[in-house]
Amino acid sequence: MPTKFQFQIDETIRKNRLDSFVADEITAVSKMFLRNAIKKGDCKVNGKTELRGGYHLKESDTVEIEIDLQATTAMTPEDIRLDIVFEDEELIVVNKPAGMLVHPTLGQKSGTLLNALAFYLNSHRLSAVNNQYKQNLEIQNLKSKTQMIRPGLVHRLDRETSGLMVIAKTKRAHSILSEHFQRRLIEKEYLALVCGNIENDAGVINTPIGRFEEKKCWGVKENGKPAETLYRVKERLFDTTLVSLAPVTGRTNQLRIHCNYLGHPIIGDKLYGGREFSRLCLHAAKLSFWHPKGGEKITFESQIYF
């Protein structure tokens, strides 16, 4: 049964977009879910159906929206074990296991890192919130008790890649960390076990990456976007090399494509020429960034044994 929420707009939130305002107030479901609800005609402003998410709210506007809180959304909480490396009031750093999607897709709605984080960050709120929602109370009576923490993605890892990720817990942290990623202030280092012995001890792979629409895959492409990866050999084994990879740019599948281009595909990488293995031997082993609160630079490291 849909739950009806009602809001009265005051002077502090004038000129705010309708979809952004509703997403800030009803944090138990995803932004996309709420945008779609508006498009479907489930939202009214001053008693009239409003289909425009970009409608700018004015002082004294009344907003009503009906939401089916039982519907599965990208933020459906699931009790999935997390490997937590660090946490404070602004952010959380976790070790993502190989084989786990970072966020839900059209083909998979559950079992992702975001599902797990939505549960972990809000587990102490969930039972009380659900009970209140069932009573169909007005939002003014619930606002202070239903604010859920929405995990904010600032970067991603491939499903097959394991390792360190930082996720924002507040809007402020999300904004600052996102800007730092765009400005390349975040330092990332990966460990990869690749096929064969790399001759040079260190080097730079600098070749463009683009998407081949006919094959629906990414690869080295002459007119692609610039992509640069630094590599350093850590250990040469019988017929493999353990190598450290530092991406300067952040193109799709960059490390996998560049290792294959070098002639040493990552073991377990079936898409880019690697020999078969139980997993993709690529791990985000080191992550350094400036903390959004206070500006202190912090570094995390994660061990892996392929």
CATH at residue 268: 3.30.2350.10
pTM over 0.85: no
**What's the pLDDT tens digit per position in 242-273?**
999 999 998 989 999 999 999 999 999 999 99
What pLDDT digit, counting tens, does each position of 65-117 carry?
A: 988 765 555 567 899 999 999 999 999 999 999 999 998 776 787 899 999 99
Residue 83 falls in the annotated catalytic set:
no
Mean pLDDT by 10 residues, the chain (306 residues): 77 73 75 86 94 89 81 73 96 97 81 92 62 45 54 90 96 89 93 97 96 89 94 96 96 96 97 96 98 92 93
Alpha carbon distance 265, 195 (integer Å): 6
Give phi and psi for 40, each to the nearest 5: -80, -10
Residue 76 lies in a domain: no
Give the pLDDT confidence score for residue 36 in this predicted structure. 87
Inside any domain, residue 81: no
Total number of domains constituting the chain? 2
Q: How far apart are CA 285 and CA 282, in angstroms?
A: 9
List the catalytic residue out of 10, 158, 201, 239: 158
Query: Looking at residue 254, what is its pLDDT?
Result: 97
pLDDT of residue 214: 85
Give the pLDDT score at 162: 98
The tokens of 13 are what? 């939130």
CA-wise closest residue to 74 among 129, 19, 120, 116: 116
Which pLDDT score is estimated for 133? 46
Mean pLDDT of the chain: 87
Asked, for residue 40, whether it belongs to a domain, the answer is: yes
CB 194 within 8 A of CB 266: yes
Report if residue 237 sits inside a domain: yes
Listed in sequence order, the residues at least 6 apart from 109 whose beta carbon sits closer than 8 Å to its beta carbon are 72, 74, 76
Task: Identify whether 82 is part of a domain.
Answer: no
The residue segments making up the domain with residue 244 are 187-301
The strand pair at 282-290 and 162-168 is best described as parallel
What separation in angstroms does the CA of 273 have from each of 238, 254, 256, 279, 280?
19, 14, 9, 14, 12
Domain boundary among 67, 87, 122: 67
- Number of Cβ within a 10 Å radius of residue 182: 11
Task: Give Rg (Cα) of the chain.
Answer: 23
Q: What number of other Cβ atoms are within 10 A of residue 110's Cβ?
A: 12
Sign of CA pseudo-dihedral 166, 111, 253, 286: positive
Q: For residue 167, is it within any domain?
A: no
Last residue of a domain, one of 14, 44, 67: 67
107 lies in some domain: no
Give the pLDDT score at 182. 85
Residues in the chain, overall count? 306
Of 67, 98, 115, the domain-final residue: 67
Residue 106 domain flag: no
Write the CATH number for 57: 3.10.290.10
